[in-house]
Amino acid sequence: MMKKKTGLWAVALVIGAVFIAAGWLSAQESPRGKVNNEEKLVQQITDNVMEELRKGDFLQKEIETGIKRFIQKQQAQTRAPDEKAEKYVRPVSVTADHIFGSPDAEISLIEYSDFECPFCKRFHPVAKEIVEIYKGKVNWVYRHFPLDFHNPGAQKEAEASECAAELGGNEAFWKYADRIYKDTRSNGEGFPISKLTPLAVEIGLDEKLFAECLDSGRHTARVQADFDNGAQSGVRGTPGNILLNNKTGKAKFVPGALPIATLRAVVDQLLKK
């Protein structure tokens, strides 16, 4: 502490002495000479201050302190999304969730998704591939996160997928979801709402029952519940992905249409824990 104070006092004395000299010279010189001397004094102040700082360890300590603070801030920002996900993400449920792969998998890729999101369309086959690679150790959980600027399409598609699940179970949900992502052009108007019921018929569901379900709006609350939990868990865009170790509760927030190599690195890290 004493060294730090000494360094600061030394710098202050140097600056003070130079400014006293500046005042004396200013009184003696013509206007042009005054400007020239002031420029010299500015440079002299800079040189003297830097020299004084170099002599001691004050500058080095301040730099080290700044670096430590920056690293701590970055680490805190990195941990925050993971900690928020661990605290708020809804536990995976065989009865409440749409699960692709083994229901007993140690790791779940929980995707908060929007059927009209072009990045979700790109990510869809990647998520399926990660499940296939790990052969029972990883499953994929699909949850809804329809974005306002993709509505009403994204919202109605989400409700339609729930109607498919209601009439045909988990298998029908995934068949329906796969077809929407395959056929949509994305960005809000990529799949006509008028074709949602015909698509259900194509995968073997009853036309009348499906249309009644979709018109009833009874799955609106389910879609909203997924959205709310995603937002609470830190999701701000789609695909909003959380890799969760179902045994330890550890989670990693991995948003975006990430490549398979990035996902594998995070999965391997969670499996080790």
SS3 of 219, please? coil
- Looking at the structure, do residues 163 and 237 belong to the same domain, yes or no? yes
**pLDDT score of 203:** 98
CATH of the domain at 183: 3.40.30.10
Question: Which residues make beta-bridge pairs with 138?
Answer: 107
- Looking at the structure, do residues 12 and 80 belong to the same domain, yes or no? yes
Domain count within the chain: 2
Please indicate, yes or no, whether the overall pTM of this predicted structure exceeds 0.85: no
- Looking at the structure, do residues 145 and 83 belong to the same domain, yes or no? no
pLDDT confidence tier of residue 24, bands split at 50, 70 and 90: very low
**Digit-coded pLDDT (tens) for 81-136:** 799 999 999 999 999 999 999 999 999 999 999 999 999 999 999 999 999 999 99
**pLDDT score of 23:** 53
- Looking at the structure, do residues 247 and 266 belong to the same domain, yes or no? yes
Q: At 228, which amino acid appears?
A: D
Give the range of the structural domain holding residue 60, as residue numbers without chain letter: 2-87
- Looking at the structure, do residues 158 and 120 belong to the same domain, yes or no? yes
- Looking at the structure, do residues 71 and 129 belong to the same domain, yes or no? no
- Among 23, 52, 87, which residue terminates a domain? 87
**Digit-coded pLDDT (tens) for 200-257:** 999 999 999 999 999 999 999 999 999 999 999 999 999 999 999 999 999 999 999 9
- Looking at the structure, do residues 80 and 98 belong to the same domain, yes or no? no
- Looking at the structure, do residues 129 and 250 belong to the same domain, yes or no? yes
Q: State the Cα–Cα distance between residues 228 and 170, nearest whole angstrom.
A: 22
Structure tokens at 127: 């998520």
Q: What is the CA radius of gyration of the chain?
A: 31
Task: Name the DSSP letter for residue 154.
Answer: H
Average pLDDT in the 18-36 region?
52
SS3 of 271, please? helix
**pLDDT score of 105:** 98
- Among 87, 112, 134, which residue terminates a domain? 87
- Looking at the structure, do residues 71 and 105 belong to the same domain, yes or no? no
- Looking at the structure, do residues 16 and 150 belong to the same domain, yes or no? no
Q: At 270, which amino acid appears?
A: L
**pLDDT score of 183:** 96
- Among 52, 87, 122, which residue terminates a domain? 87
- Looking at the structure, do residues 243 and 212 belong to the same domain, yes or no? yes
- Looking at the structure, do residues 71 and 98 belong to the same domain, yes or no? no
Q: State the Cα–Cα distance between residues 267 and 128, nearest whole angstrom.
A: 14
How much of the chain exceeds pLDDT 90, in percent?
69
